[in-house]
Amino acid sequence: MNLRDMDGNHKVQTVEELNALLLKRHRINNAEVNSFWLSYDGGFPCMCVMVNDGLATSWYSPKEGQAGYVSATTFDTLEKGGVTLFYLDNQKQEVANHLVVKWPEAVEAVRQFLRSSDLPHSIRWIEL
């Protein structure tokens, strides 16, 4: 699997390699952030995960031209109607709180994507 983060491109073949890359963070505005683009052969299906401290948001697309799916929150501690700030390749992205999941949920989804390019089942999704 190919993984691109804020530091560049990486080839990932094992869960151990994946786990090491998912731990990488960049400090921006007092937050520990990173973004991860995951794909096979640079194409589809693909998945994007952005992390800010203990929170994440995810997007999955099974094929080119299909809008895909976004993660759906499973907790209610974030402000309803509010947004959480993430960074995609060092660019600010405001994401609606109802699309934010806890980081461990996103990690499990990425691990599932490594094993199979199908839509991961470890988090709830909203079809776009």
Q: Which domain holds residue 110?
A: 2-127
Q: Which residues of 16-33 are buried (b: 16+ CB within 10 A; e: fewer)?
A: eebeebbeeeeeeeeeeb
- Residues 6+ positions from 78 with CB-CB distance below 8 Å: 84, 97, 100
Please determine, for residue 8, whether its predicted confidence score (pLDDT) is greater than 90. Answer: yes
SS3 28: strand
In the numeric block, the tokens 């505005």 are attached to 29
Q: Structure tokens of 70?
A: 């976004």
Q: pLDDT tens digits, residue range 18-77? A: 999 999 999 998 999 999 999 988 789 999 999 999 999 999 999 999 999 999 998 888
Domains in the chain, number? 1
In sequence order, what are the beta bridge partners of 57?
Answer: 50
What is the spatial distance between Cα 17 and Cα 20, in angstroms, rounded to a whole number? 5
Helix, strand, or coil here: 62?
Answer: coil
If pLDDT is split at 50, 70 and 90, which confidence band does 90 have? Answer: confident
The pLDDT tens digits of the residues spanning 61-74 come to: 999 999 999 999 98
Give the per-residue pLDDT at 74.
Answer: 86
